[in-house]
């Protein structure tokens, strides 16, 4: 029983918080993500709050507990690399409507809430954003990307918000993800002398475009230039600045 005027997680009548005024949830610390990744062998989370401290290699994996409507779990990745997070393998649960065996990428130094409203389906809050332990600043998912030598649409897939793209020769290519209204992706062409082609994705509307270019046509970024690709309407990207610089 709580003292008069007290509530779970709140107080009334200017009565200070005291012992017993907060929910105490199950937790587990110092978890090691499954080396080598994979869905079935992924480390099984069994607590409301879990902190993963060892992600030795990018893509090492964990899986969420069996789903139940109303269930929420909070997962902290305090490892050195991003980890792959899956729904429960036995029930083939999905996260953010991705194929169960695909899962989602949970970046290093980030905290994500996974919530379930319908059995078998999890949705996330906080993917692709994290924190700087020393500075107290927000961070964004980032990646070093090698442009595809084929120079064609589909090569060098972009899957992070901030991307440092290198190319072995001019005309190599990268491809944006399927457009989603509100999505903004930054690409830096970091090669000293080679251009990079940036294509829209052949999926989605199947006629996706960048600026005033035709459907599925690439925009060419000169060496050592940058641009942000922003989508307001599905199927259409615009760059800032309009000519990468």
Model pLDDT, residue 134: 86
CB 154 within 8 A of CB 208: no
Q: What's the CA gap between 207 and 205, in Å, rounded?
A: 5
Say yes or no to pLDDT of 4 above 80.
Answer: no
- Read off the pTM: 0.84
Model pLDDT, residue 152: 97
Q: What's the CA gap between 101 and 113, in Å, rounded?
A: 20
Model pLDDT, residue 16: 64
Task: Give the largest CA-CA distance in the chain.
Answer: 73
From 23-37, 54-68, 107-121, the region with the lowest mean pLDDT: 23-37
Model pLDDT, residue 168: 97
- In the chain, the percentage of residues whose pLDDT exceeds 90 is 87
Q: Give the pLDDT band (50/70/90) at residue 20.
A: low
Say yes or no to pLDDT of 63 above 70.
Answer: yes
CB 92 within 8 A of CB 128: no
181-235 pLDDT, tens digit per residue, is: 999 999 999 999 999 999 999 999 999 999 999 999 999 999 999 999 999 999 9
Classify the C-alpha dihedral 200-147-158-92 as positive or negative: positive
Q: Which domains does the chain have, with CATH numbers?
A: 6-131 (2.60.120), 141-240 (2.60.120)
Model pLDDT, residue 1: 44
- In the chain, the percentage of residues whose pLDDT exceeds 70 is 91
Which pair of tokens denotes residue 108? Answer: 């290093």
130-171 pLDDT, tens digit per residue, is: 999 889 899 999 999 999 999 999 999 999 999 999 999 999
């Amino acid at each position: 029983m709580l003292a008069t005027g007290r509530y779970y997680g709140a107080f009334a009548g200017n009565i200070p918080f005291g012992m017993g005024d907060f929910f105490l949830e199950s937790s587990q610390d110092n978890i090691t993500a499954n080396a080598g990744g994979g869905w079935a062998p992924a480390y099984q989370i069994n607590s409301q709050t879990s902190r993963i401290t060892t992600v030795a290699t990018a893509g090492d994996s964990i899986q969420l507990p069996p789903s139940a409507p109303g269930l929420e779990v909070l997962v902290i990745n305090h490892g050195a690399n991003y980890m792959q997070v899956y729904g429960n393998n036995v029930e083939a649960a999905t996260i953010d409507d991705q194929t169960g065996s695909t899962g989602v990428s949970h970046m290093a130094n980030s905290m994500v809430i996974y919530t379930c409203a319908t059995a078998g389906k999890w949705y996330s809050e906080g993917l692709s954003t994290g924190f700087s332990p020393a500075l107290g600043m927000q961070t964004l998912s980032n990646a070093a990307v090698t442009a595809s030598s084929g120079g064609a649409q589909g090569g060098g897939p972009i899957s992070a918000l901030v991307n440092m793209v290198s190319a072995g020769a001019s005309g190599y290519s990268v491809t944006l993800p399927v457009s989603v209204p509100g999505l903004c992706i930054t690409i830096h062409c970091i090669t000293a002398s080679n251009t990079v082609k940036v294509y829209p994705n052949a999926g989605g509307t199947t006629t996706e475009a960048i600026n005033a270019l035709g459907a599925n046509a690439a925009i060419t970024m000169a060496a050592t230039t940058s641009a942000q690709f922003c989508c307001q309407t599905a199927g259409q990207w615009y760059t800032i600045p309009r000519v990468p610089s």
